[in-house]
Structure 1
Amino acid sequence: MAPHLGQNTGQDTGQTDISTSQSAIATYLDAHIATERFMGAVLVGRRGEILFSQGYGMANWKHSVPNTTHTKFRLASLTKQFTAAAILQLQAQDLLDVQAAIATYLPDYPNGDRITIHQLLNHTAGIPNYTAFPDYATQKRLSMSVAEVVAWFKDKPLEFEPGDQYRYSNSGYTLLTHILETVSGQPYAEYLRSHLFEPLGMTSSGYDTDWDILPHRASGYDLTDTGYGNAEFIDMSVPTGAGGLYSTVEDLYKWDQALDTEAVLGDRAKAQMFAPTVPVSEAGKVYYGYGWIVAEQLGRKHITHGGAIDGFRTIISRYPDEQVTVIVLSNVSSAAVAEIGAGLAAIAFGEPYQLPRVYQEVAIDPAIYAGYVGEYQLAPEKILAITAESDQLLVQLTGQGKLKIYPTSPTHFFLRIVDAQLTFEIDEQGQAQKVTLHQSGQDLPAPRMPQ
């Protein structure tokens, strides 16, 4: 589908007027709802005013409770910015120094004399990421204290010399949680409540627990080929200060606005938080600060972070020079929140954007599938395996599960669960010689491998 151009009617602001933006945003989000891959709540703010804020889909399918702007979503890794802010508050109180070795505060931690708090904050400490451990799928179902989560990874060897490279690690932010509790003398949840949430009037934010009765709590879902299903269970003690908070879009906008003042962080602390301390990729222009990614998007400075936890996808994007903020919280694991957020920002700026396309399945003769079954080389270590079961074609990428694909023509197929399509190139005998994967704006050819 061709890009849709936003109508720029602002006065030398590069931004659309309010009514045009609101209408375009509503149309854009309705299109994403139609794909079934998104539901949740969205807020777009501009210069201190809420331009658009609305809930979509269901917070709880079982009880027919809709999502609203008051719905509480698990934030996943958006939690990290709050953990970083709390650490910087403690530094401002002279209770710690981010350049100090963590052995200063946790004297028994292995290699603690080689690792600094700064390196934990920007993912350069080399501590293995516990959410990537082989036993994570079983361990995440257990109730654990912060000390027990730390014990899970503390004795594993470092992946590299601290400070040598960037590698995202939830373990580092769990260790920051442990340091925060040790230095402040308060549990993590209580510290954030009293030092961040209450001062900012964030009454719908806190640390999630499985035993608390939390009004307006969203349930997390996975999209399957037969509809929505409950996401896999995770005991919320496990994410700690790396991913354990919940909030609403409106509370997060209070947080966003506070970051432009000295309500909870002084100028020095904010300068440290948003400093581009380490490149995230070799491509450059994308850096990690303290709990935030500092980059460029749509030709503008872009301060952002995303999050993913069972049944939830989240993102907050700040464009500080234009004072525009986009917040997307979803309780569907397939939600492309980064794409949605970028589209919303483009609308706010009057830049080009693209509506998602909804594909319709057509009936074709399943006898042709025999010519498509096989393996296709997508990358040196990535194979697309095409199989046929019960008159249904399926695709499986190396390391992932099988997904059904649905025809829009004899050679073009789409996936329901993710925004991706496949096009087969066939010879005169109906044998596929190549398949092209269309995803994330890329066309990735995969030639058929010899049998």
Structure 2
Amino acid sequence: MSRPIRCLPRPRPTIAGLSRRALLATMGSVLISPASLAQDSAAAGKGGDFEERMQRIVNGLRPAVVIAGEAPKKLADRMKELQVPGVSIAVLHDGAIEARGFGSVGIDGPPVRPETLFQAGSISKPVSAVAALALAQAGKLDLDSDVDLLLKSWKVPANPYTDKSKVTLRRLLDHSAGITVHGFPGYAAGEAVPSLVEVLNGAPPANTAPIVVGHEPGTRFQYSGGGYTIMQQVLIDVTGKPFPDLVAELVLKPFGMTHSSFLQPLPKEEAQSAATPYRANGAPVPGGAHIYPELAAAGLWTTPTDLARFALALLDAWAGRNTSVLSQATAIQMLTPGFGDYGLGLVVRGASPDRRFLHDGVNDGFVSSMVAFENGDGAVVMTNGARGWELAGEIMRSIAVEYGWSAGQPRTRQRIAVDPHVLDRLVGTYELSPQVLIHVSREEGHLFAQATGQDRFEVFPESDRDFFYRVVDAVLTFDVENSVSATQVTLHQNGADHIAKRVQ
């Protein structure tokens, strides 16, 4: 039996990151209906013991920061508050995968079950990366050669950056190739869908910019869905096979991912098992799930159970227990972090025995999170609501508490009362960087902070100067010495301090 995976919460969320989803972890950025239990199980597991644990998990949701003395929240209540119709959860423990569905595939739709399909968003990247690594291992491509030597249908546009250093497959996989285009919005029902070359060129009907080299390859981390789109073209040109067929052959079938597919759009018979995506306002995405021709970056349809199997398979290869797809040496390369804590397809953090790999995914109306520890416990959460990023984090923390993980549990802070006049001295706009401002406002005795491109969140006082977030573990410290109003604020997060000067 494969050994299990140990779960952790998603990649550390940030306050100052310019993600499309507020506070959803963006690699390398800085800042900041009642649920119904499905009866299906992916594995026998411990039966009643797991049912008891799952009941504690769904009744024990917690934010990143808990205020001392407050009670946890219930999944059904949070799904209603966040307007997320459905949630699917897979937990790995003691070599088994247990999966449960909650809520519905859509408003007034059938219940979510473990086999209900969700779009995985950027969790497509590590699955695609395994296909590339398997081909490299077989000698069909070189991770460190110029990708232009492999590409036939398209070439990386030359510029002064490519003259200095070349784009390689390894650099595409670990986001150090300097490639532009962070992510993709997909194409709504009825819209023209571009070819892959049109996406690469940014040519109509593509809705994203041309994919080019924006800085010298190999010098720093820059998360790029565009890089994985180049990788997709490399794999197609090298093998001559359609990408969905290729990944099914190299990864999905060997890993036992029987409910997974890179077909876009889904065939009608499979679409009947898919969840409907919903926007943050509770309305369904018009026309249903978007189509993503950028398959390697965002095109996977799957289930938490299948992603749990994927995680277990990587751990088995990494430990040398099963090397039928990836050798131990290749798996070690994949799970060794480079720039930005990113390996070859996955974020990798921590040291043994608490080393973990993880990835989040967001497509229009879908949010997912996958985390695994090297010792074998783990979890995958998939949702069909745009505010699922918040819900997935709360579920992961509840799982972390239930299973006693060494990382990923919420922090507890003490909230105090502060004179409203003190809050007035803190109100203003602070510049974290030329691109990121933090706007601080007050309403009826409460202080709020909003970073550029993100939602507004309340911050809570633990002193007259220190105010903490709850959706992420971060603190704002205001400098009010010898001044009527604060002159600056320092953001403390992830072990680093970032100073923002008042600009108004």
Q: Per the shorter chain, which TM-score range?
A: 0.7 to 0.9
Q: 1:423 to 1:119 in 2, by over 3 A?
A: closer
Structure 1 equivalent of residue 383 of structure 2: 330
Matches within 5 A, 1:353-432: 353-354=409-410, 376-380=428-432, 381-384=436-439, 397=450, 399-400=452-453, 420-422=457-459
Q: Deviations over 1:321-344 (max 9, x none)?
A: x21111111112222234532442
Structure 2: gaps (5+ residues): 1-48, 62-72, 203-207, 317-321, 413-419, 479-484, 487-501
The 3-state SS of whatever aligns with 1:173 is helix
Q: CA deviation at 1:154?
A: 8.8
The 3-state SS of whatever aligns with 2:469 is strand
2:100 is matched by which residue type in structure 1? Q
> In 2, Cα distance between the equivalents of 1:258 and 1:131?
27
Greater shift in the superposed pair: 172-181 or 292-301:
292-301
Structure 1: gaps (5+ residues): 1-16, 281-286, 357-367, 404-419, 426-432
Q: 1:171 to 1:248 in 2, by over 3 A?
A: same
> In 2, Cα distance between the equivalents of 1:305 and 1:92?
23
Structure 1 equivalent of residue 334 of structure 2: 273
> In 1, Cα distance between the equivalents of 2:276 and 2:241?
29
Equivalent residue in structure 1 for 2:274, among 208, 214, 217:
217
Greater shift in the superposed pair: 175-184 or 91-100:
91-100
Greater shift in the superposed pair: 344-353 or 80-89:
344-353
Equivalent residue in structure 2 for 1:149, among 199, 205, 218:
199
1:268 is matched by which residue type in structure 2? A
State whether residues 376 and 435 of structure 1, in contact with CA within 8 Å, keep that contact through their aligned partners in structure 2.
no
RMSD: 3.8
Structure 2 equivalent of residue 190 of structure 1: 245
Structure 2 equivalent of residue 416 of structure 1: none
Which structure features the higher share of strand residues?
1
Q: Does 2:175 match 1:123?
A: yes
State whether residues 272 and 290 of structure 1, in contact with CA within 8 Å, keep that contact through their aligned partners in structure 2.
yes
Equivalent residue in structure 2 for 1:25, among 36, 57, 61:
57
Q: CA deviation at 1:28?
A: 2.3
Matches within 5 A, 1:97-116: 97-106=142-151, 108-111=155-158, 114-116=166-168
State whether residues 90 and 184 of structure 1, in contact with CA within 8 Å, keep that contact through their aligned partners in structure 2.
no
Q: 1:383 to 1:275 in 2, by over 3 A?
A: closer
Q: Deviations over 1:322-372 (max 9, x none)?
A: 21111111112222234532442342236694599xxxxxxxxxxx9xx98
**Alignment TM-score, normalising by the size of structure 2:** 0.65
Q: 1:398 to 1:316 in 2, by over 3 A?
A: closer
Q: Deviations over 1:240-292 (max 9, x none)?
A: 2101101011122222232212242222221221122x231xxxxxx111111
State whether residues 326 and 345 of structure 1, in contact with CA within 8 Å, keep that contact through their aligned partners in structure 2.
no
Q: Does 2:368 match 1:314?
A: yes
Greater shift in the superposed pair: 200-209 or 146-155:
146-155
**Alignment TM-score, normalising by the size of structure 1:** 0.72
Equivalent residue in structure 2 for 1:180, among 235, 238, 250:
235
> In 2, Cα distance between the equivalents of 1:394 and 1:238?
43
State whether residues 176 and 339 of structure 2, in contact with CA within 8 Å, keep that contact through their aligned partners in structure 1.
no
Equivalent residue in structure 1 for 2:105, among 59, 72, 81:
59
State whether residues 438 and 452 of structure 2, in contact with CA within 8 Å, keep that contact through their aligned partners in structure 1.
no
Structure 1 equivalent of residue 482 of structure 2: none
State whether residues 369 and 380 of structure 2, in contact with CA within 8 Å, keep that contact through their aligned partners in structure 1.
yes
> In 2, Cα distance between the equivalents of 1:435 and 1:72?
43
1:147 is matched by which residue type in structure 2? V
Q: Deviations over 1:49-94 (max 9, x none)?
A: 13x4211222111x42222211111001111111111011111221
Higher relative contact order (CA 8 A, sep 6+): 2
Q: Does 2:325 match 1:264?
A: yes
1:40 is matched by which residue type in structure 2? V
Greater shift in the superposed pair: 106-115 or 67-76:
106-115
State whether residues 206 and 247 of structure 1, in contact with CA within 8 Å, keep that contact through their aligned partners in structure 2.
yes
